[in-house]
Amino acid sequence: MSQQPIKLYRHPLSGHAHRVELMLSLLGQPTELIFVDLMKGAHKLPEFLALNSFGQVPVIDDNGTVLADSNAILVYLATKYGNGEWLPSDPVAQAKVQRWLSVAAGQINSGPATARLITVFGAGYNAQDAISKSHTLLTVMEQELGKSKFLAGDKPTVADVAAYTYVSHAPEGNVALTDYPNVRAWLSSIEALPNFVGMQRTAKGLQQA
């Protein structure tokens, strides 16, 4: 356990930031949540750019160790505090986890994350394209989750933490999960983990719940 709370710079509606908040909670790490007002451009101010030159949340400060990028932070936290449970050391198992971290940065980002950006933040992307990509991804996930309880095997890993938030909140981007029972069962399995913490839902999400 860290001697002082890990500082997490985040916005409560950022799925990337929620990945890290969820990981910290699952690991039982004391955390200080620091609000970054994205709507007012706080992430582009010099004091924040000094933490992350890309001007994006999340950022953590673990007693002087400052790190950005949600997936990179997940790997760091799992390696330092996970006791080998969240990031396997076996080469094949580790490769399976990395595959899904790549999916989180790729297909999940361009699919459900982008679809949600349009409805929640008014981002100027093509909604139909993002929704189409989301269903292509969910079809693959549905097949993969028919083989194992979690994405990289029968135990949860950082792969599941990285993928969870934007898939769970896909309905906020007009991406229905109705046709994907394995995906919905996987979401429920994550939500049943000790110390699970969800991300704040938008009005759109509450209507879909």
Domain 6-81 has what CATH class? alpha beta
7-66: per-residue pLDDT in tens?
A: 999 999 999 999 999 999 999 999 999 999 988 888 988 998 999 999 999 999 999 999
- Which are the contacts of 157, defined by CB distance < 8 A and separation ≥ 6? 78, 86, 87, 88, 97, 150, 151
Same fold, 6-81 and 91-208: no
91-208 CATH pick, 3.30.450.80, 1.10.1660.10, 2.120.10.30, 1.20.1050.10: 1.20.1050.10
Three-state DSSP class for 141?
Answer: helix
Three-state DSSP class for 177?
Answer: coil
pLDDT of residue 204: 56
Question: φ and ψ at 150, to 5 degrees?
Answer: -120, 170
**Greater model confidence, 2 or 53:** 53
Token duo for residue 127: 């909604």
126-171: per-residue pLDDT in tens?
A: 999 999 999 999 999 999 999 999 999 999 999 999 999 999 999 9
Tokens 């500082």 label which residue? Answer: 7
Mean pLDDT, rounded, of the chain: 93
Spans of all domains in the chain: 6-81, 91-208
103 Rama sector, left if φ>0, alpha if ψ -120 to 50, beta otherwise: alpha
Q: Residue 111 has what DSSP assignment?
A: I
